[in-house]
Amino acid sequence: MAKKRLQPIERRLTDVERQRLSRVRAAATRDFPPKAAERRPAAPGIPARIRSAREAQGMTWYALAQRAGVPNQATIRDIEQGKDVKVSNLRAVAQALGLDLDLIPVV
């Protein structure tokens, strides 16, 4: 049996269909409530300063990654969570946010 390719139907919903869809969505949300977003706090020090500067400028991880020229938004997330990252990526992110990154010797 040959597979038939289904053609998408693109049309506007009627008011009745829109109301029905709204009721279905509301019932689904009531039965399966969305999981509460649990944002982990940034690690203290540099990660917290990076996150606060990013949020102050209203940037997403993706937008900051694009501006800094780092591989992807996961790198920004890793920096904010205090994970091990390349110093070159950390420096690029700090520069994109207008921050100075100074490495000082430990006494």
pLDDT at 12: 87
Task: Say what the pLDDT of residue 98 is.
Answer: 94
Task: Answer whether residue 23 is part of any domain.
Answer: no
In a domain, 24, yes or no: no
CATH number at residue 63: 1.10.260.40
Alpha-carbon distance 7 to 91, whole Å? 51
pLDDT the model gives residue 27: 95
In tens, the pLDDT along 13-35 reads: 899 999 999 999 999 999 998 88
What pLDDT is recorded for position 5? 84
What pLDDT does residue 1 have?
Answer: 59
Rounded to whole angstroms, the Cα distance separating 52 from 86 reads 20
**Overall number of domains in the chain:** 1
- Whether residue 56 lies inside any domain: the answer is yes
- Residue 72 covered by a domain: yes
pLDDT in tens, 37-93: 777 777 788 899 999 999 999 999 999 999 999 989 999 999 999 998 999 999 999
